[in-house]
Amino acid sequence: MSPTLPPVRTRLTDLAEQAGVSTATVSRVLNGKHGVSAQARQAVLAALDVLGYERPEKLRTRSAGLVGLVVPELANPVFPAFAQVIESMLTERGYTPLLCTQSPGGTTEDQYVEMLLEHGVAGIVFVSGLHADTSASKERYHRLRSRGMPIVLVNGFASGVDAPFVSTDDEAALDLAFRHLVSLGHRSIGLAIGPDRFVPAQRKRAAFADNLNRHLGLTDAENHIVSTLFTVEGGQAAALELIASGHTAVVCSSDLMALGAIRAARSRGLEVPDDLSVVGFDDSPLIAFTDPPLTTVRQPVLAMGHAAVSALVAEINGTPASRIELKFHPELIVRGSTGAAPATVGLAPAATR
């Protein structure tokens, strides 16, 4: 049975530290007073649940349970966007989300799962986790399912795993970007992609090769693809290689990579989009305010988050959700980083033309 709230000062400080708020805010929440934001109130209620305290009677719109949310590092702004949407929807359903963010060399996905199991979570949502890595064992997910733990996997299909899958349609995303560039007159289009072991990268690579063949009659896709990292630096390195081989447009598999591609163009004295057109992927927050504003393919984060939470809640309530992968159609957002193909081939710096 959960411990009742002990009448000691350390209880307030413990809750304040866990919730990331002041002890005064904790006191106002516990006493049902006004003047506390919904976000701060939810943080205090989550702290009560995590630390094992019973909520005071006046606060017992009782949590339906804890739910784990495991996401990659937050450096890529699309992951905080997913986290915010999923956390909000879980809270609306009465659940208390426990956010687990990974970072290189930090707590691993498996370590987070052990912590979540110790807290007695009712289910777990994984966003772009090891399920998306074809080189990683899927045994961890089989173990969770064998003990009856409801899970939902976002962006990365893993055949044989007994769970609902929610993904962006990567093939459609690549089609949208490629058709847009072809319509602008580009005939030398490159792809800056993340590591090949990830399912979304594999799908985009295959779709790119198909588009090269269908629209431009080219079968040498490997000469137009550079695999690198999902980072600004990775995008810059890939774009430099594609620029050197005469490409007038680059499709990137993340907005961060696209920003790196723009940096690469400028380092070579080129203008975007006059000399090089760049397309990103995600439509991360604030990406519309870059210089130039980035043309990108928007992931339907809101719809995907809703589907993931709905599937998880159904699983928790004993109603199995569909095991057919739900693919959500993305949207092309045209801004200032794409334009007509340059009239000359070879991409000499604009100042020398």
Model confidence pLDDT, tens digit, residues 86-130: 999 998 888 999 999 988 788 899 999 999 999 999 999 999 999
Task: Please determine, for residue 2, whether its predicted confidence score (pLDDT) is greater than 50.
Answer: no
pTM of the model: 0.80
The pLDDT value given to residue 32: 72
- The average confidence (pLDDT) of the chain is 90
Alpha-carbon Rg for the chain, nearest whole angstrom, is: 23
- Give the rounded percent of residues in the chain with a pLDDT score beyond 70: 92
- Please list the residue range(s) of the chain that carry CATH number 1.10.260.40: 7-62
* Full 3-state SS string of 27-50: HHHHCCCCCCCHHHHHHHHHHHHH
Least confident range from 41-55, 212-226, 230-244, 311-325: namely: 41-55
Q: What is the CATH number of domain 170-299+332-352?
A: 3.40.50.2300
Question: Both tokens of residue 142?
Answer: 């089989």
Backbone torsions φ then ψ of 298, nearest 5 degrees: -85, 125
CATH class of 7-62: mainly alpha
Q: Flag whether pLDDT at 10 surpasses 80.
A: no
With bands split at pLDDT 50, 70 and 90, how would you rate the model's confidence at 236?
very high
Give residue-wise pLDDT tens across range 275-306.
Answer: 999 999 999 888 999 999 999 999 999 999 99
Task: Look at residues 295, 300, 309, 302 and name the one whose alpha carbon lies nearest to residue 337.
Answer: 295
